[in-house]
Amino acid sequence: MVTDRLPRTRTLRSDARDNRELILDAARAAFAAEGLSVPMREIARRAGVGPATLYRRFPTKQALITEALRGQIGACHAIVAEGVADPDPWHGFRRLVEKICELHARDRGLTAAFISAFPNAIDFGADREYALRGTAEVARRAKEAGRLRPDFVLDDLILMLMANNGIRAASPAARVAASRRFAALAIESLQASPPSSPPAPPDHCQGRLDLGQVDISAEAETSPRR
């Protein structure tokens, strides 16, 4: 009897792991393309599992968001750490802004989570504070070096991410290209002594910034539907 049960137990455990990965893959793709408003039932449908299976693995939307964005949050940490470690404060600040904008352009869900912080999501508030503290340190050093305008505040970065999230483009690649252009213009405006000529537009940049899609209150992304 024992030998009959072991393969069945292993199969069930393997199926549970497979279902979990299917759910996470579907959630990551949905959140990246559409933001955090994608309903749980729609994620279950795209993953090919029933709602009961999804809720058994992830009892709340916050739990699913936290796990689905874990890799992106790690990438954000690495970008901030690289900026802090850069011996050139202005170069570190510039690269931090460029990379953060591009990372968020690739994942709308990350922007929504970063802006709202989802206080019920495990540890995300701490991750957000880590990123903001690191950015504040890089900004402080860039100001002291005379390269960053002295009136820059962290709310300016949040506003940039909200505007960056408003970019609409025909494809993910065009969205990233438009985001890079936006970041270049934003960084220029933040310099203590802006250059006389604006940054050149990237080749084949077909994305466009749709200001009508920028919600300054961010209410559209702060209350994920269940």
Do 166 and 214 contact (CB within 8 A), yes or no?
yes
Domains delineated in the chain? 2-67 (1.10.357.10), 70-222 (1.10.357)
Task: Give the residue-averaged pLDDT of 7-17.
Answer: 57
Q: Report pLDDT digits (tens) over 168-192.
A: 888 889 999 999 999 999 999 999 9
- Per-residue pLDDT at 218: 38
Which positions ≥6 away from 110 have C-beta within 8 Å?
31, 32, 69, 72, 73, 76, 103, 104
Q: Report pLDDT digits (tens) over 16-58.
A: 678 999 999 999 999 999 988 999 999 999 999 999 999 999 9
Given a cut of 60, is residue 216 above it in pLDDT?
Answer: no
User: How far is the C-alpha of 211 from the C-alpha of 179, rounded, in Å?
Assistant: 13
**pLDDT-based confidence at residue 14 (cuts at 50, 70, 90):** low
Given a cut of 90, is residue 206 above it in pLDDT?
Answer: no
Q: Report pLDDT digits (tens) over 84-110.
A: 999 999 999 999 999 999 999 999 888
